[in-house]
Structure 1
Amino acid sequence: MKLNISFILFTCALTVTAVTVQAQQPNQVFKGAGSPVNPKVAMSWNRYNDHAGITDICKKIAAAHPDLCKLESIGKSYQGRDLWCLTISDFKNGGDVSRKPAMYIDGNIHSNEVQGSEFALYTAWYLTESFGDTKYIQELLADKTFYIVPTINPDARDNFFHEANNASSPRSGLIPVDNDRDGAVDEDGYDDLDKDGNIVMMRRKNPNGRWKQDTKDPRKMVQVGPEEKGDYELLGLEGIDNDGDGLVNEDGYTFEYDPNRDWGWGWQPNYIQGGAYKYPFSLPENRAVMEFVMKHPNIAAAQSYHNSGGMILRGPGGQEDVGTYNATDVRIYDVLGKKGEELLPGYRYLVVYKDLYSAYGGELDWFYGGRGVYTFSNELWTSYLMFNKGSDDDDNSGVDPSYQFDRYLLFKDAFVEWHEYNHPQYGKIEIGGFKKNFGRMHPGFLMESDAHRNMSFSIFHCYQTPKLSIDSIAEKDLGDGLKEITAVISNERIIPTHASQDLKFKIERPDYISITGPKVLAGMVVENRDLNITTEQKTNPGTIEVANIPGQGTVTVRWIVQGSGKYTITVDSRKGGILSKTK
């Protein structure tokens, strides 16, 4: 066959152009308030990404914004996938990013709770793409650092996408487990009878069945009344009884260890806390996160993304741990959580043990209890977002909102229509039901809006981490070449440099306030300046150790020095950063 070389070259040129041209010309677009107008990394936030997709996005963001983003792998998953971390900050302004007050964000600790990865990625993308023309973001990244780990369960994330599952499976990772102790590892997953990637429901016609089709939407099955006869029997999840014991799919994921029961605070073994694995941090992914956090004491705030239910959760996870959350810290949590309710319509600020159930060995309890970091777990997606109303606003139509939402807004794309199948054990049956991408996951068109709102809550949280300043420096001549120097250090934000939990267990070192230049004869903390009440630090008086700089508060320190000339006062706080002033 004779080839047309000119046509091939033209086609190649079009292909290269399509691949390399990402952003539109500036004169072709007009900025929508609050959104990047012409991003360097063109993204669609209406779909989900597997681990390869997440890797690609992370690399693109880091390559497009080298002065704002650094990419690293903080460890490997059980199957060897990288746990990517995006460090977002203004690397040219504000000093060492590892010493700025920081916020840690992760998602997808549970394999079927996937959208947290996209929400975390959206945060990284938005911060970098908005930096150029948004003063608030410029000031934020000059002061703060974000550590963003999109997924901490990449193996099971890929399994959820690429293998047959339903909306609730699998929850764990993919470390093989012998569920029934028969010496064989049960890791075969579910039986996808029609090979469509979704594990839905099975039903069989039965004139004495207890189920019938809903008259308002025949796709839905409803149970009949006590004196009614139904048309169907429900046979459970799509699958096969592999060993003849009457149970379908028990050889799939019967025992699922729970990565959110693996953390080293309040941990309990599996016979007490179902889902716990061998010992705290026995899972490589969680251990990698723990080691990263331990190496970054500047982390003062944290956010973990789960699904679903529209909740802003704080600990404690277990009632026995209620005393851990000191009243002072709870007041700070309340300010943050209630602001979250304003920013996230349909979401509720709740306490895990009180409003849900007791859970031990959870991530948010380790972050707070073990590290003194104010931490939330947001349960993403709420049915409120379907029609912007809650269950209390029901129109009494008796119509299931999920079916209505799928019918009128998703055009039945979220439902596998009931269809016949010749089952090897049950004979002629029907298979149908909601797909795995509906029920817990955001429909595509609602993802970006909710990602933005959840990001705004994280930004508010990060903004409230300590912002220190040396408010004033006063000098008093004492005669004989001696001078009294008094400095007032303030914290403009509501989060202190040490949480009450931190102070109780001395998790992090004190804040250091030092003076260099003159000879220091004495150093002290001023408890009451009006009454001149002080507490002297007799050892190493040039560097005063302060237990805490409270939120929206001050500390006052004083030195007696000998000599004249310039001197520098420096504040060095793990969670508050470093600053200095020369006089």
Structure 2
Amino acid sequence: MNKFFMLILAICMLSPLAGAQSPTPSKVDLAFNKWYTYDEMTQALRDLVAAYPELLEMESIGKSVAGRDIWLVTLNDPATGPPESKTAMYIEGNIHGNEIQATEAVLYSIWYLTRSFGNIESLTELIRERTFYFVPSSNPDGRMYWFNDAATPNVLRGGIRPTDNDHDGRYDEDGPDDLDGDGHITSMWVADPTGRWKRNEDDDRFFVRVGRDEEPGGWTRLGEEGIDNDGDGEINEDGIGGYDPNRNFPSDWQPEHIQYGATDYPLSLPECRATATFIMAHPNIAGVQSYHNSGGMVLYGPGASYQKYPVSDMRAMEEMATKGAKMIPFYDALVSWEDLYTTHGDETSFTYEQEGIMSFVNELWSQDKMFGDGELTSRDDTIEFRDLLQFEDVYVPYHEVEHPKYGTVLVGGTKKHSGRVAPLWAQEEECHRNFAFTMYHADEMPKVEWGMHQVRRGPADLWELTVQVENPKVIPTILGWARKHRIGNPDELICETGEGSRVVASSTANGFTPWSGMTIPEDQHRSHRLRNEVGIRSNGSQLFRFLIEGDGPVTLRYVSDKGGTIEQTIELEKTDPIPEGEDS
């Protein structure tokens, strides 16, 4: 028996043991060292739903321009209530078609959570407490263009709705042409005696510009592969797309002459309309995570300098984004307009500014992670990384192709997966760290809890019931922006009494002491319902007081769109302030 066979036998014997020792085995075998086409993604979602029917439901929330379903998966533990009864996290990816790894990050999140349920205590508790809504690809047409058509790393950002990018009355008539049929749109060069570029003598994969005082280099760059298909003297000026779905949302939407890619009007794109409609119909969503790539960033608003967010919200955003940058090495916590660029009509501005939801964008993958040495990655570092770790698999060697106008040209350069996406062997860690940040975000969504309560005899022989409602999380039940602009419903505390009893008056309170007082509105007409317009603040609490005539138990129910609903029954008998759960 030779050594090779012995090695294979040993591996085969050890493999089942290794699988059995996995702390959280999954019922669905998904790999994250690959990219999923739309059809493969759809099948993976169906497999997960079939394997975990008690946790997952799958539905289409709309159709893309090409008629593809925009799939949404709901993850919820029905044993603790229906999805709408819990604070929810909305997690989405791939709004830009070429930013493909966002889909894998969302798919990984579903896969990891389902396999963790009942196995990892912290995630099991999170699933029981929260609802998760997942949209792995909100731009399936753009995704499939990247897979099926010749493209660069930056194409197709938008979708496939016909657009007149060059304003000549025709649509999509002059896009790039894959002259060599290799599936990549690379650079195109022509020999030119007066050209200011020359082949790099040390590495002919690159061209270098000659100095002003040097002899001509003999080459001129013609741009990306293409032909002047419409005869207007330009190449590739009106290809498919030409709009940006992430500029089509209602918040601070601006027309095309101000914001490129905004299209005709807010939510004119069916994909954006489907997303917005779902979010607006689910006021229990308190957190939004949108995955993009690339850049290595945890981004938060505002998107424009003239949008002034409340200090309390900015403080919470900064705290959470900074934690994210710590969890994901070589990521930076950045304010969109200040540290990156101005955007109008983007999705997370919409979810925050119009829906009152704490929202983040994670730009997956940073080239600064290439060698992980803490230094910014230079051009030479990138070349070395691609040579040593990617084995040159990102390059198309320059080769001759016949062009109908320019004759023999050189075509070559980097492939469409060369820049924006992590190498496949690094993708799973990228997915996991970003998933972990999103779980941190989900855990810090507001969660109302009962604190202490006190019952004592008050004035006019009325019962005075004082109760504390707490929120031990970073995100308040009502964001400062939502309070200011009256977005969503206020929180509400309801006191239900038995027959023969009634609530005479109610208000917030400053303390449990008798002299802490109450501020009762003169026109109060529904004293058993207390509206809390400001919500429960970050890591904060609020005291409420009811004056009750009559005896018997009362039932308290606190209702918060973002913080959830809690209920308890209290006997009207004299007590000192005691924590919830310690009374009879």
Tell me the TM-score normalized by structure 2.
0.90
How is 1:112-123 mapped onto 2 (pairs within 5 angstroms)?
112-123=98-109
Corresponding residue number in structure 2 for 1:282: 268
Q: Secondary structure at the match of 2:558?
A: strand
Whether 2:190 is the aligned partner of 1:204: answer: yes
Whether 2:530 is the aligned partner of 1:540: answer: no
| Residue among 45, 51, 55 paired with 1:68 | 55
Q: Residues 409, 91 of structure 1: CA spacing in aligned structure 2 closer, same or farther, 3 A cutoff?
A: same
Q: Secondary structure at the match of 1:558?
A: strand
Corresponding residue number in structure 2 for 1:21: none
Corresponding residue number in structure 2 for 1:18: none
How is 1:305-384 mapped onto 2 (pairs within 5 angstroms)?
305-321=291-307, 323=308, 325-384=309-368
Whether 2:243 is the aligned partner of 1:257: answer: yes
Shift of 1:246: 3.6
Corresponding residue number in structure 2 for 1:20: none
Corresponding residue number in structure 2 for 1:19: none
563-572 or 60-69: which moved more? 563-572
The letter for the 2-side match of 1:522 is A
Shift of 1:477: 2.5
Corresponding residue number in structure 2 for 1:570: 557
297-306 or 399-408: which moved more? 399-408
Q: Deviations over 1:344-380 (max 9, x none)?
A: 1111111111112211111111111111111111111
Taking the aligned partners of 2:531 and 2:324, their CA distance within structure 1 comes to: 35
519-528 or 553-562: which moved more? 519-528
How is 1:127-206 mapped onto 2 (pairs within 5 angstroms)?
127-186=113-172, 189-206=175-192
Taking the aligned partners of 2:541 and 2:505, their CA distance within structure 1 comes to: 21
Q: Deviations over 1:423-477 (max 9, x none)?
A: 2222222211111111011210111101111111111111101121111221103
Corresponding residue number in structure 1 for 2:285: 299
Whether 2:428 is the aligned partner of 1:442: answer: no
Q: Residue 176 of structure 2 contacts residue 235 of structure 2 at CA under 8 Å; is this kept in 1?
A: no
Taking the aligned partners of 1:326 and 1:569, their CA distance within structure 2 comes to: 31
Shift of 1:217: 3.1
480-489 or 78-87: which moved more? 480-489
The letter for the 2-side match of 1:297 is P
Q: Deviations over 1:509-567 (max 9, x none)?
A: 11111222342222221134454132225221112111211111111111111232322
Q: Secondary structure at the match of 2:60?
A: strand
Q: Residue 26 of structure 2 contacts residue 114 of structure 2 at CA under 8 Å; is this kept in 1?
A: no
Taking the aligned partners of 1:28 and 1:446, their CA distance within structure 2 comes to: 21
Corresponding residue number in structure 2 for 1:469: 449
Shift of 1:41: 0.9
Q: Residues 570, 214 of structure 1: CA spacing in aligned structure 2 closer, same or farther, 3 A cutoff?
A: same
Taking the aligned partners of 1:423 and 1:457, their CA distance within structure 2 comes to: 49
Taking the aligned partners of 1:123 and 1:430, their CA distance within structure 2 comes to: 43
Q: Residues 118, 393 of structure 1: CA spacing in aligned structure 2 closer, same or farther, 3 A cutoff?
A: closer
Q: Deviations over 1:471-509 (max 9, x none)?
A: 122110348763111111111111110001110111111
Corresponding residue number in structure 2 for 1:526: 509
Corresponding residue number in structure 2 for 1:491: 471
Q: Residues 48, 565 of structure 1: CA spacing in aligned structure 2 closer, same or farther, 3 A cutoff?
A: same
Q: Residue 549 of structure 1 contacts residue 555 of structure 1 at CA under 8 Å; is this kept in 2?
A: yes
- Structure 1 residues not aligned, in runs of 5+: 1-23
Tell me the TM-score normalized by structure 1.
0.90
Shift of 1:120: 1.0
| Residue among 235, 255, 266 paired with 2:252 | 266
Corresponding residue number in structure 2 for 1:13: none
Shift of 1:181: 4.4
Q: Deviations over 1:258-282 (max 9, x none)?
A: 1111111111111111111111111
Q: Deviations over 1:176-231 (max 9, x none)?
A: 12334444322564211111111001123345432233345321222122233324
266-275 or 477-486: which moved more? 477-486
Taking the aligned partners of 1:434 and 1:500, their CA distance within structure 2 comes to: 46
Q: Secondary structure at the match of 2:228?
A: coil
- Structure 2 residues not aligned, in runs of 5+: 1-13, 571-584
Pairwise CA RMSD: 2.0
Q: Residues 446, 393 of structure 1: CA spacing in aligned structure 2 closer, same or farther, 3 A cutoff?
A: closer
The letter for the 2-side match of 1:227 is D
| Residue among 212, 218, 221 paired with 2:207 | 221
Taking the aligned partners of 1:217 and 1:89, their CA distance within structure 2 comes to: 55
The letter for the 2-side match of 1:347 is Y
Q: Residue 29 of structure 1 contacts residue 37 of structure 1 at CA under 8 Å; is this kept in 2?
A: no
Identical amino acids, percent of aligned pairs = 40
Corresponding residue number in structure 2 for 1:427: 407
Whether 2:36 is the aligned partner of 1:49: answer: yes
Taking the aligned partners of 1:42 and 1:241, their CA distance within structure 2 comes to: 47
The letter for the 2-side match of 1:57 is A
Corresponding residue number in structure 2 for 1:17: none
Q: Residue 383 of structure 1 contacts residue 390 of structure 1 at CA under 8 Å; is this kept in 2?
A: no
Taking the aligned partners of 2:202 and 2:291, their CA distance within structure 1 comes to: 35
Shift of 1:312: 1.2
Corresponding residue number in structure 2 for 1:80: 67
Taking the aligned partners of 1:574 and 1:470, their CA distance within structure 2 comes to: 16
Taking the aligned partners of 1:156 and 1:83, their CA distance within structure 2 comes to: 12
| Residue among 242, 253, 265 paired with 2:229 | 242
Corresponding residue number in structure 1 for 2:6: none
Taking the aligned partners of 2:459 and 2:161, their CA distance within structure 1 comes to: 73
The letter for the 1-side match of 2:429 is S
Q: Residue 67 of structure 1 contacts residue 92 of structure 1 at CA under 8 Å; is this kept in 2?
A: no
Shift of 1:101: 1.1
Corresponding residue number in structure 2 for 1:582: 569
Taking the aligned partners of 1:214 and 1:534, their CA distance within structure 2 comes to: 80
Q: Residue 160 of structure 1 contacts residue 170 of structure 1 at CA under 8 Å; is this kept in 2?
A: yes
Whether 2:396 is the aligned partner of 1:416: answer: yes
Aligned residues: 549
Q: Residue 91 of structure 2 contacts residue 106 of structure 2 at CA under 8 Å; is this kept in 1?
A: yes
Q: Secondary structure at the match of 1:319?
A: coil
The letter for the 2-side match of 1:47 is K
Taking the aligned partners of 1:155 and 1:266, their CA distance within structure 2 comes to: 26
- Stretches of 4+ moved more than 6 A in 1? none
